[in-house]
Structures are given as structure tokens and as C-alpha cells.
Amino acid sequence: MLAPLAVMSLDIRTLADLLHARAEASPNDIAIRTKEGSSWVTRSWGELRDRADVIAAGILTAIDLDDNDVVGLLGNTSEDWLACDFAALSVGLQTVPVYASLHTEEVGYAHVDTGIKLIIIDNKAQLEKIREMRKGFTFFDKEYAGDTLVLEHVVVIDPTGIDAADDWESLADLEARGKKELDAQRDDMVRRRKEAKPDQTATYTYTSGTTGPPKAVIQTHDNHLAMARAVSDAGVLTDNIREGGLFLFLPLAHSFGRLIQFAAPYRNLHLIISSVPTLGEDLGATRPGFFPGAPRVFEKMKAKIETAVAGAPPVRQKLFAWAINTGKETVPYRCKGEPVPFFLGLRNSVADKLVLSKLRAKLGFDRAFALLSGSAPLDPDVHTFFLAMGLNLLEAYGLTETCPGLTANRPGQIKIGTVGPALPGVEIKIAEDGEILAKGPNITQGYLNRPEATEASFKDGWFCTGDLGAQDSDGFVKITGRKKELIKTSGGKYVAPAKIEGQLKGLPIVQEAVVVGDRRNYCVCLIAVDPEELGEWAQQKGIEAKTDHPDVKKAIEAHVAKVNGGLASFESIKYWRITPEPLTVDNGLLTASLKVKRGVVEDRYSSIIDDMYSTGKK
């Protein structure tokens, strides 16, 4: 039996206090589970705090840093990243998380925009970006000379393969110096921590930048703590998660990942550090209590299960179909928090014992209390599938500007196809034009160095999300589209592409779909195929894994027709084409947060689009 949870939620004012308050209240409780070689190891809150103190002392003795100066973090999610971020925040410094996948000019822009003075980076590849950046760069047709940077010091987490030089030091060396200087720095560290204020900027987190230079969202200590309180009060993060912990593979440059990072010490829930390449393996090994992910993650999980079942003997296929359909019958009751009727409950118990419990265990979700989907629309079929398996998959909604939540479904309070009611402390209303407006303590005050964008984002004290939606009588919000992405056909009809694209991505081999039709007389679509999913699908079919294979085109054609069956004639897809390559960050077609750069995609494939309109051939 688990010991009582020690001081679940903390009564603190700033993120500077967060780690130290948790370590004082629960020094020996697990803070982190991470992999060392092939073994999983744990760190306690006391150990994490002690390391963060050493790193903080090392940072403060690296260069002269004033109160609230800016430290950058460029790299992938890791234990080291967390320790460095908590260290900088604990002495009142501002931190700027930067995606590891960003190119040199994008990294450079973040430095110039926020005034990063010290940067902590992953490895040799990131150091090469920093060195190139220092020579000057061009971003969105604007040239930046190297002397526009205020960067003074570079710290490398993993220095493997880097020759000794005077333009960097290793994190190990910084920690060694920090350990020696800790006693001398202690009073100043405590002063900085205590003088941090709730309304002070804690971090800048960048928007995706799909149409122009990304905007640095100003996020205060209070913004982030308000969000941690909200998800706690909403019952999304509860004591039921304690044994399994919070699974963290999301980039910490994304507000979704940052919420998990800060919610862990706030609620005394440990973090499981993972990554995309090892996701499946790590889930099976750690069996988390809470798993957050983008819809694509859940789509792929569903597809892998269905692909495996399709290759099973007919008897097993029938058993799976019966079990999952039985689970689906329970969904309406579970969504409302109502008891399942007796005989249905008996059938579901059998289905669970024979099939559903095994599916949960195979995914690593056998002790998961909640799964959270955010950042894009969740397909209702995918949502229903996971609920049928006996899992609380909760769809939520928010933006970088809201740190990052506004609404969320809750266990026993779910409406499929919606993103749930407002979180505690958040107010939602729908403007006359259908735009979702919000108020709350978690919402940003605006964008750094972008006064016009800030002014445009607020109206009479309400934050303008840019998303279109509706709110029912129970307060549940349904997203219908993105205001700036609305397509207006030449016939004057408005089409929300996100809804259609989400449905098209319901076919496992479809990686991305981009609907086009603005000022045209009908809609067409560019479809990118997922190479990994195509390989598995083709192997099962016994065909070559080529995008131009007739069977691939037939599958996509049938799926497009199915999606069109639920659309109005003016929004249906008349023609489609497969793109020559997948959409990726490296080829410039996706942002670092994996959002489609719609304008760039349309420009790059303009000839394909024009051909669909001129010839109507696939």
C-alpha cells in the first residue's frame, strides 16, 4: 500500500521557490526516473535540489549576471536540461527554451530577440550552430551581424568530440566550479530566490512561427503556477498518478512539456524522462500514471494495434472486434461518470480480462489514470477507441499564450468531439464572429518586442485566441477552425481546413494533409505519406512500400471518399495528390512544434496545386 502523499500541492509564489519548497517538504520522494545505459534509475527531490544548487552557483560564477538576466537552453528533453532549468529559475533568472531541431538562423533570432547571455546546449552539433550564429545570419530577409548578440558564455552538456577551446565549457566543469563556490554564493542565491516576484517574467516560450518570425510569449512565474493549480484543481493530475508518475517525452521548449515539468514538483509526482525514438520501449518499461501527447501519437498507437490484429488469425480478429465493441458500449456511461448497466458490465469484464487489459499492458498503460491529448484536434474515432480500452483519454485545449491550457475534459466528465469546459480560474466566451476569447491568471501579458501583435491579441481585457469555436449549455467547448486559416472559396463559402485535415489523417499511412481552396471554386488536398506507417502497411499487404503503388492510391482514394461523405459539397475534396516527400522540420515544411507551415507548403508545391485545378487529374 502506498504511503500518504506528502504535501501534495505547494503554497508558493514563484517558480524560483518551486523545487526548493518541494525538496523541503518531500526530500526523499522520487523526483525523476531516467535511463542510464539499459537500467532505469531514480533521483529524489532532495538530490535534484542539491544538483540544481551546484549548477546555479556555477552559472552565477561563469559571468556577471544581473537579477532576471536571460539564460537559454538548447537541446532535447533530459535530466540535465531539467536540472539546469530549475537551477536558473531558482536564482530568479529568465530561461528561454529553444528546440534542438531549429536551424542556425532560428537559434540566432531567439538570442537577439530575448538577449540570451548564457546558453546551455546539448552537444557538438548544437555548438556548431552557436559558432555559425556568432558569424552573423539572415532570418526572414533581415541580416543580423554577430555583434548584435549579447551571448557571453556557452555550456555544453555532452562535450563528446569537441576540441578544447575558449568559447565553451562543459557542464561537468561548471558543476565542479559550482560545488567549490556554493558556500560563497549561497547568500546571493537565496536573496535572488526570495526577491523573485510572481509578476516577473520567468521564461519566454516561442510560438510556432508558421507565417513569419516566431513571437516570444512572455510567461510569468504566476502564469505557470496558475496553470499548475488549475490542472490540479480540475482533477486531471491527482494522487492516482503517483505510483506511475508523469511521462515526459515532449520537448521542453513546448509549453505542453513545460506544464508537465512544473506540475511534477507542484503535486509531488515524479517525472519519467523519455524521447520519441524510445517512446514505445520506455512506456512498456515504466508504465506511467499519466501520458501527454499530440493526437498523432494516439493515432499511431491505434494504427499499430489494428495492423497487428489484421495480421492475426480470424478467430482472434473476431475476439478483438467483439471486445472493443463491448468497450465502446460502455463509453457513454463512463463519459458521464455513470455506473455501467449490470449485464453490460459483466460482458465488459470478460472483454477486459480476455483482450482490453492485455492491450493496455502492451501499450504500457496498465496503470495509467489519464492520457491527455492536446495541440491539435483529436479524431473522435481515435478518442472512442482509447475510451473503449478502458483508458481515460482526455482532450484539452490551449495555446503557448495560456501556459498552455484553457479547457480540458475530465475523468467522468467527457464529451467526445469537444475540448472540455474551462479549467478552474479560466473564463471563456465566444465572440460574435465565433472566435474563442479567454481570461485567466495563466494568460500572457503579451509578446516580447512585439507591441502591435500584443495589442491585436487583446480586446476589452479578453485574450483573442485566433481559434473559432462554440460552447454548449454545459460549458464544453468545440473547436471549429483557426480564424486565420479559414478558406474562403470563390463562391463565398468558408471552409475550416483543420477539421478536414484531422479526418484525413485518420488513415494511418497519411502523415499530413494540407487542404487548399482559398479564392478557388473548390477544395483540393496535398497528402504526405508516413514512410514508417507505409512500410508496415505494405508489408502486411505484401506489396512494395512505394507511394505510387496502385494499392496505396486506392486506399487513400477510399479514405478521401469516406471523409467527403461527412462534408458539405463546398468543403469536400475534389482532387488530391501525394507530395514528393513527407513534411518534416528538416525540409522546412513543419515548425519545430510539428505544425504545418501552410504557406511554405503551398509555395513549394504550387505546380502540383495548379495542376489539380487545371487538369483535375490525380
Please give the helix or strand (H or E) that residue 165 lies within, else none.
Answer: none
Cell numbers 577551446 correspond to 165
Q: What is the pLDDT of residue 481?
A: 86
What's the pLDDT tens digit per position in 227-244?
999 999 999 999 899 999
Instruction: Indicate the Cα dihedral angle 494, 481, 587, 583, nearest 10°.
Output: -90
Cα–Cα distance for residue pair 357/344, rounded to 1 Å: 17
What's the pLDDT tens digit per position in 133-168?
999 999 988 999 999 999 999 999 999 999 999 999
pLDDT over 70 (residue 12): yes
Cα–Cα distance for residue pair 50/45, rounded to 1 Å: 9
What's the pLDDT tens digit per position in 491-517?
888 898 988 998 999 898 999 999 999
Residue 1 pLDDT level (bands cut at 50, 70, 90)? very low
Instruction: Determine the 3-state secondary structure of 355 from DSSP.
Output: helix
Q: Phi and psi (nearest 5°) for 9?
A: -95, 145
Cell numbers of 531, please? Answer: 514512410
Q: Where are the domains of the chain?
A: 15-220, 294-483, 486-615
Residue 616 pLDDT level (bands cut at 50, 70, 90)? low
Residue 186 pLDDT level (bands cut at 50, 70, 90)? very high
Cα–Cα distance for residue pair 368/374, rounded to 1 Å: 17
What average pLDDT does range 339-357 have in this prediction? 98
Inter-CA distances, 272 with 82, 97, 569, Å = 12, 19, 47
384, 331 contact by CB (below 8 A): yes
488, 494 contact by CB (below 8 A): yes
Strands annotated E in 158-270: 169-170, 201-206, 216-220, 246-248
What's the pLDDT tens digit per position in 468-483?
999 999 999 999 888 8
pLDDT over 60 (residue 6): no
pLDDT over 90 (residue 403): yes
* Residue 420 burial (10 A CB sphere; 0-12, 13-18, 19+): buried
The answer to whether domain 486-615 has CATH 3.30.300.30 is yes
Q: What is the pLDDT of residue 618?
A: 43
Fold of 294-483: Rossmann fold (3.40.50)
Q: What is the pLDDT of residue 52?
A: 98
Cα–Cα distance for residue pair 74/151, rounded to 1 Å: 13
Would you give the distance in Å from CA 59 to the centre of its chain? Answer: 28
Q: Phi and psi (nearest 5°) for 327?
A: -60, -40
Cell numbers of 45, please? Answer: 527531490
What average pLDDT does range 52-70 have in this prediction? 98
Instruction: Determine the 3-state secondary structure of 557 from DSSP.
Output: helix
pLDDT over 70 (residue 292): yes
SS3 content of the chain, % helix, strand, coil (to 5): 40, 20, 35
Cell numbers of 562, please? Answer: 469516406
The answer to whether domain 15-220 has CATH 3.30.70.20 is no
> Which candidate, 290, 291, 216, 283, places its Cα nearest to that of 255?
216
- Is-same-fold flag (294-483; 486-615)? no
Paired with 428 in beta bridges are 438
What average pLDDT does range 203-215 have in this prediction? 85
Rg (CA), the chain: 25
Cα within 13 Å of Cα(562), Cβ side: 12
